[in-house]
Amino acid sequence: MPRKRRLEKIGFYHIINRGVAKTDVYLNDDDHKKFLEIVQDASTEYGFEIYSFCLMSNHYHLLLKTKYENLSSLLQKINSRYSIYFNNKYKRVGPLWQGRFKSWYVYDESYLKALVKYIELNPIKANITKNIGEYKWTMSSGKVESEMLNYELVDNIDFADDMSLEEQKKVDEIFAGKLEIKDNDIKLKKLKPLGDFFDMFHNREAAIVNAIKDGYQQSAIARYLNLSPVAISKIATIYKQKVQLFNRLRDKGLFWSYSKDITFDEAGEKLTIEYILKYGDFDDIVSCIKLFGKNKTKAIWNERLKSDKQFIKTNLMIARVFWGMDVESDYFKGIKNERLEKLRMLSQQ
């Protein structure tokens, strides 16, 4: 699938780029200086100004304003030049940056002050410093001199207080915003309320992943659910792994009695676990237990498979290997099929 083309509209952008596998990309003051020299060279060549920046050990933030539609070109030059410098200096090979840089177009300039505050407060949030301006590699420190720096915003912001809820909301809206271009004007697509996702999807994991797809930031979802962003990230990651497992086994024909296009959301966890236990191989069952959990997998086995006389050999293997049960095949022959009994009772009513 081709990459989505980046927005190149003239204006303000918030840029973030991280070291590959979150490794450090600045190891000393000389590295920070070199990076800013490269940014200054690019500013002269491509015509942009920096309104806020923060260089952390393993990533950077830039708030820049372009004069031309050249965002991708200027950042490609910055990232590639610094990568060459860093790899040569430290005798390393391979990519330095973690994929493509992230960029957000600031569609409403009323958001700029909140965004500058968010960027400049990074070292305090990371417990590197206690006060604004103490960390040298931020614009608010005033310790970096460069023609590309425009202090118009930084000099007019009160950094005495931490970010307010309203300011954090503005930053979240920038990060979550989905933009559309109509008649050469950029407009913000309205996101449906976050609560709608949890009304629409009975599975909380599915609601979280679909909210992220629609444009919500994990931090916003975390606040809505009163969870940590790390917890939201883990939930989303595990859900995606479940979907990948389901899709792989569906394409292999494991869910043979259903449509070839059935999705994980349509099938649900119970059916997915049941079919993996019935028709999956040993590694599939291991993956199932790892992703869905031993307790949930065993509960589905008890409910839907243990009493099925067609799968006595399979049940014996699962019971002995995965549940540690010391049983023989006769154990399963004497178990009543509760699901069939319920269906019979319903049919007689």
The answer to the question of residue 209 being in a domain is no
**CATH number of the domain within which 114 lies:** 3.30.70.1290
**Whether the Cβ atoms of residue 74 and residue 48 lie closer than 8 Å to each other:** yes
Q: Which residues of 294-318 are buried (b: 16+ CB within 10 A; e: fewer)?
A: eeebbebbeebbbbbeebbebbbeb
The answer to the question of residue 169 being in a domain is yes
Give dist(CA 311, CA 309) in Å, integer.
5
The answer to the question of residue 99 being in a domain is yes
The answer to the question of residue 217 being in a domain is no
The answer to the question of residue 215 being in a domain is no
What letter represents residue 167's amino acid?
E
Are 73 and 153 found together in one domain? yes
Q: How confident is the model at residue 164 (pLDDT cuts 50, 70, 90)?
A: confident
Q: How confident is the model at residue 3 (pLDDT cuts 50, 70, 90)?
A: very low
pLDDT at 282 over 80: yes
Q: What is the pLDDT of residue 111?
A: 84
Q: How confident is the model at residue 338 (pLDDT cuts 50, 70, 90)?
A: low
Q: What is the pLDDT of residue 233?
A: 93
HEC string of the chain? CCCCCCCCCCCEEEEEEEEHHHCCCCCCHHHHHHHHHHHHHHHHHHCEEEEEEEECCCEEEEEEEECCCCHHHHHHHHHHHHHHHHHHHCCCCCCCECCCCEEEECCCHHHHHHHHHHHHCHHHHCCCCCCCCCCCCEHHHCCCCCCCECCCCHHHCCCCCCCCHHHHHHHHHHHHCEEEEECCEEEEECCCCHHHHHHHCCCHHHHHHHHHHHCCCHHHHHHHHCCCHHHHHHHHHHHHHHHHHHHHHHHCCCCCCCCCCCCHHHHHHHHHHHHHHHHCCHHHHHHHHHHHCHHHHHHHHHHHCCCCHHHHHHHHHHHHHCCCCCCCCHHHHCCCCHHHHHHHHHHHC
Average pLDDT, the chain: 88
Residue with tokens 């070109």: 73
Residues in the chain: 349
Are 163 and 255 found together in one domain? no
Domain final position from 157, 173, 190? 190
Are 171 and 253 found together in one domain? no
pLDDT at 349 over 70: no
Q: What is the pLDDT of residue 344?
A: 56
| pTM for this model (two decimals) | 0.58
Dihedral over Cα of 310, 312, 317, 320: its sign: positive
Are 116 and 182 found together in one domain? yes
Are 173 and 247 found together in one domain? no
How much of the chain, in percent, has pLDDT values that exceed 90?
65
Are 180 and 297 found together in one domain? no
Average pLDDT over residues 218-235: 92
The answer to the question of residue 133 being in a domain is yes
Q: What is the pLDDT of residue 173?
A: 72
Summarize pLDDT for 11-65 with one digit per residue, the tens.
999 999 999 988 999 999 999 999 999 999 999 999 999 999 999 999 999 999 9
Average pLDDT over residues 283-288: 96
Domain final position from 172, 190, 208? 190
Are 123 and 20 found together in one domain? yes
Residue 266 sits in which domain range? 241-348
Structure tokens at 95: 């990519």
Q: What is the pLDDT of residue 279?
A: 95
Question: Which region among 141-145, 146-150, 316-320, 340-344 has the lowest average model confidence (pLDDT)?
Answer: 340-344
The answer to the question of residue 303 being in a domain is yes
Are 30 and 120 found together in one domain? yes
Are 317 and 251 found together in one domain? yes
Are 25 and 133 found together in one domain? yes
Summarize pLDDT for 63-106 with one digit per residue, the tens.
999 999 999 999 999 999 999 999 999 999 999 998 888 888 88
Are 22 and 143 found together in one domain? yes
Residue 270 half-sphere exposure toward CB, CA atoms < 13 A: 7
Q: How confident is the model at residue 339 (pLDDT cuts 50, 70, 90)?
A: low
Summarize pLDDT for 304-337 with one digit per residue, the tens.
999 888 999 999 999 999 999 999 988 888 776 6
Q: What is the pLDDT of residue 27?
A: 97
The answer to the question of residue 136 being in a domain is yes
Split into its structural domains, the chain has a count of 2
Structure tokens at 189: 């697509």
Q: How confident is the model at residue 188 (pLDDT cuts 50, 70, 90)?
A: low
Q: How confident is the model at residue 165 (pLDDT cuts 50, 70, 90)?
A: confident
pLDDT at 347 over 80: no
Q: How confident is the model at residue 187 (pLDDT cuts 50, 70, 90)?
A: low
pLDDT at 243 over 70: yes
Average pLDDT over residues 220-227: 91
Domain final position from 161, 190, 219? 190
| Of 70, 53, 67, 50, the residue nearest 11 (C-alpha) | 67
Are 71 and 165 found together in one domain? yes
Question: Which region among 19-28, 165-174, 208-217, 246-255 has the lowest average model confidence (pLDDT)?
Answer: 165-174
